[in-house]
Structure 1
């Protein structure tokens, strides 16, 4: 994996930091020397992540928040800057994954998926841009292989990830002449609690599920986390507008 540059004296905000990829990303950045603002709805998980970060000698700021309440996003960024002194990287990792037959998907599930997966990242980015420009920082969005291929029963999830991918590229173009970088990582399937949700879908068509089965197996969470952290660091200074697929070849064809 790419080598993360020294992030001593820098601060990263990581969403979804209570477990899974978000937690692994926060710990990876902390091991590189960064102080971390941790955001998630799961307070107990945040506290566990914070203890690990503090054991590494780094500071951890906990902000328990439901990103579906997107009006909080600007405050989350402001608190990170106020409490930790600056912001150098924003890693949008949190996601909602609700597989559903389209005709059975509730308005509430649709709206929550859009809010957490797309609107919240946009609002966090919008609030963070001035500080990230000041510090020549970076935004890393976690999208998905689902952004690049049709996937049955994932209309809401796939749509938000495709939108987040295009947002990344559009922002990279808009800020081409500013000292800020926008990149994305598009993972394939990982062994996370999110992925387990597909097993709860009632009466899926096995032939459709087989089309998205990873022939080379699931991705390792730490491999994805290391790429997110790399893109957040100065070592990735040549990356701008990139979307890095780490999906064991599922989007090859």
Structure 2
């Protein structure tokens, strides 16, 4: 999948301070887009912006907490106030934590759902009127956890399944209007979410191994390439799709 040029287009990428969001922002900027990068981590955003600038790209930083609905609307409003248009919304930010379900705190559950499901909804809600004017696109990052039950990740699985189905519902709602809405569902990747994660000491490792994948982890840059492709005009034939990139985890 080779993305088309994004010259003259404006993209908003969440989770851009690190990992997949950072890789996606850098790639979209390299394709010519003016990229608005959104994350709670201001230092990480500055690092991403510096990388883009060093390559001659164009990036804007918007540090905010996307767990608050009003901040999602404000992020889109900032883009429109400055650039007057939005061509692509890439909901990449995510959160996961391995935990025995009875021991998951209300705060942990709330943050997982807010970042993985509620924020994409509120961002889509704010962005869609502008994306319709630009014949734009939405790319949501879900997960293989949306399709395969994974032990100790009940909230994460629920949030990603919800985001996957929300993608399809929005695609149906706007079937006859000039907007494309798709998703990509990666398997495990070596990102900050994974490297900084802790697990309960008494988990059953055999249950974890069931969804670890026989071919290893997915490369972050490869997933970013698909995100950029779906965000670009090259993916005109995709609407309501969810592309699994999991090295065969959901094959059987």
Same fold (TM over 0.5): yes
Q: Which blocks of at least 5 consecutive residues in structure 2 are unaligned?
A: none
Question: Residues 77-118 of structure 1, C-alpha deviation per residue, up to 9 Å, x if partnerless?
Answer: 010122233210000000111111001000000011111100
Alignment of 1:160-199 (within 5 A): 160-199=159-198
Using structure 2 for the length normalisation, give the TM-score.
0.98
Cα distance between partner residues in 1 of 2:196 and 2:44: 19
In structure 2, the residue matched to 1:128 is 127
User: In the TM superposition, what is the alpha-carbon distance from 1:55 to its structure 2 partner?
Assistant: 2.4
1:48 aligns with 2:47: yes
2:78 paired with 1:79: yes
1:99-110 correspondence runs (5 A):
99-110=98-109
CA–CA distance in 2 between the matches of 1:198 and 1:220? 18
In the TM superposition, what is the alpha-carbon distance from 1:188 to its structure 2 partner?
0.3
Number of matched residues?
252
SS in 2 for 1:63: strand
CA contact 2:98–2:198 (8 Å) conserved in 1: no
RMSD between aligned residues: 1.0
Give, in whole Å, the separation in 1 of the partners of 2:2 and 2:95. 30
Take 2:200 and 2:185, find their aligned partners in 1: how far apart are those partners? 23
Following superposition, the deviation at residue 193 of structure 1 comes to 1.4
State the alpha-carbon separation in 1 of the partners of residues 53 and 205 from structure 2.
45
**Cα displacement string for residues 179-210 of structure 1 (whole angstroms, at most 9, x for unaligned residues):** 00000000000011112355433211112111
130-139 vs 201-210, greater mean Cα deviation: 201-210
Unaligned runs of 5+ in 1: none
Query: Hey, what does 1:16 align to over in structure 2?
Result: 15
Alignment check: 8 A CA contact 1:35 1:84 kept: no
Q: Secondary structure in 1 aligned to 2:249?
A: coil
Q: Partner of 2:192: helix, strand, or coil?
A: coil
- Map of 2:113 onto structure 1: 114
Question: 40-49 or 54-63, which moves further after superposition?
Answer: 54-63
Q: Distance in 2 between matches of 1:148 and 1:104?
A: 24
CA contact (8 A) 1:97 1:197 kept: no
In structure 2, the residue matched to 1:220 is 219
Separation in 1 of the partners of 2:130 and 2:153?
35
Query: What is the correspondence of 1:143-154 to structure 2 with a 5 Å cutoff?
Result: 143-154=142-153
CA distance in 1, matches of 2:18, 2:38: 11
Moved more, 195-204 or 170-179: 195-204
